[in-house]
Amino acid sequence: MFVSHLHGDHFGGLPFLILDGQFSRRTGPLAVVGPPGTATRLADTMECLFPGSSTTPRRFAVEVTELAPGTSRTLCGVAVRAWEADHPSGAPALVLRLDLAGKTIAYTGDTAWSGAIAEAAADADLLIAEAYYRDKHIPYHLRLADLRAHLDQLTARRIILTHMSADMLDAPQEPSFEQARDGLTITL
């Protein structure tokens, strides 16, 4: 599980995933990769939601790896590289690039436009990009307008938009971008 940053809408599902593993008798380890602070914030969140759950013995290990911006690692067969996003969240937020099985996936997380996005997405098979609003400026977030303005720098073969407000979801889709939806499965 790769986590871009430690806001609730991006990592808040982890306690439920871990508890689901516990109740469905999971045995394989769960690798969680996120920014510095992930281990503590995950334990704090588990304690807040389900007191005692962060120390309950389980049949599977939760292996947290913290990745600083500007570093890269290979974990579980995935080569991951991280850049610092422009998005305060009580810990450094990351723009991620994952290489696995001969394919490359980049993910903006939440961030204001930054050159890191173009670097992370260079020649990628897929860029998953935040597109919060079409034109409305929200500090530390990406708009469709930002992606459009920098489209010539984005060399990923596919761009799928996510993190969309109603303003985006209600508007007609544009040919340069696909839109994510709940339950979407992507084949590369």
CB 179 within 8 A of CB 173: yes
Q: Does the protein bind Zn ion through residue 146 (CB under 5 A)?
A: no
Query: CB of residue 7 vs Zn ion: minimum separation in angstroms?
Result: 3
What is the distance between the alpha carbons of residues 44 and 99, in angstroms, rounded to a whole number? 31
The yes or no reply on residue 9 touching Zn ion (CB under 5 A) is yes
Collapsed DSSP state (helix, strand, coil) of residue 119: helix
DSSP three-state, residue 126: strand
> Most distant CA pair in the chain: distance in Å?
51
- Nearest to Zn ion of 9, 152 (CB atom): 9
Residue from the set 7, 58, 148, 158 that interacts with Zn ion by CB under 5 A: 7
- The smaller minimum CB distance to Zn ion, of residues 99 and 110, is found at 110
**100-139 mask for Zn ion (x: CB under 5 A)?**
----------x-----------------------------
Closest CA to 108 of 163, 67, 174, 169: 163
Which residues contact Zn ion (rule: CB under 5 A)? Answer: 7, 9, 110
